[in-house]
Amino acid sequence: MWHVTFSELRKLRRPSLFLGTMGAVIFFSGLFSSLLFLLIDSPQGNGDRGRMIGREILALPSGGVRGFASVGSFLGIIALCVFAAQTAQEYTYGTLRNLLVRQPSRMKILLGKLAAMKIFAVIMVVLAALVSISASILLAPRAKVNTDLWFSAAGKSAILETFINVIISVIGFGIVGMILGLLFRSPISAISLGVLWLLIVENLLVAVKSNTEKWLPGSNLSAIAQGGTPTLEYKHALIVGAAYVIFGALVAAGLFKRRDVSN
């Protein structure tokens, strides 16, 4: 399995993929964290969906990672796209057949690819954390936000907790992308359907009937990154998100093991 992992990591470190993805991570992480402080007095709000996050909230021990937590869902969408593309393209390019010649066990190939993409996701989250927290530290004085508690014992605990939550969320989104890649066996189909559902369909469903948010996969995975939201408890989001990921992974793994290797 480790040979598959190292082989997949070589593909993931291609400059066109690695630099492009990390560039998007840096941009969105810096943007969301900056807007949180730059728009602190805006009547339209400075948080998700127009929410107001005031100075007293940003001055709490968790204030330094507010921006980092809010960018978690966008990191998840990036992970979904990468995981889906890297999985589905094995069918599109016909390379899965070649992989099976070297490693006949399909499950070892699948687990090796998953391990490599998890490492890639962790690198994304580490980079996002560095950019986001740095932007918050630089912009806090301009927004007149007190940062004394950010690096206290409680603040360091909040940083670690948020970091773990964002990793869980991003890997969850990534596995969903991998599932879509295995189901549709086409990068374009898997990515377009995944992004369409997360950015448009779920928002429409919540707008029409708000209580559907509790049972939608994207909403729950996003809530995990934020440690829970006013409408979604962390424990509930963790259970529902895990249920979607585990069920989908079992179905996709079963299909991967039995279906033909070509698209």
Q: What pLDDT does 263 receive?
A: 55
**Taking the model in full, what pTM does it have?**
0.92
Spans of the chain below 50 pLDDT: none
Q: What pLDDT does 262 receive?
A: 58
Break the chain into its structural domains and give their ranges.
2-258
Q: What pLDDT does 172 receive?
A: 96
User: In this structure, what token pair is assigned to residue 239?
Assistant: 């259970």
Place of tokens 């939608």: 216
Q: What pLDDT does 49 receive?
A: 66
What residue spans of the chain are helical by DSSP H? 2-12, 15-38, 55-58, 66-70, 72-92, 95-102, 106-139, 153-184, 187-196, 202-208, 217-225, 234-258
Q: What pLDDT does 105 receive?
A: 83
Helices 153-184 and 234-258, interaxial angle, to 10°? 30
Query: pLDDT over 70 for what percent of the chain?
Result: 97
Give the span between the Cα atoms of 72 and 84, in whole angstroms: 18
Q: What pLDDT does 5 receive?
A: 87
Torsion sign (Cα): 82, 86, 91, 93: positive
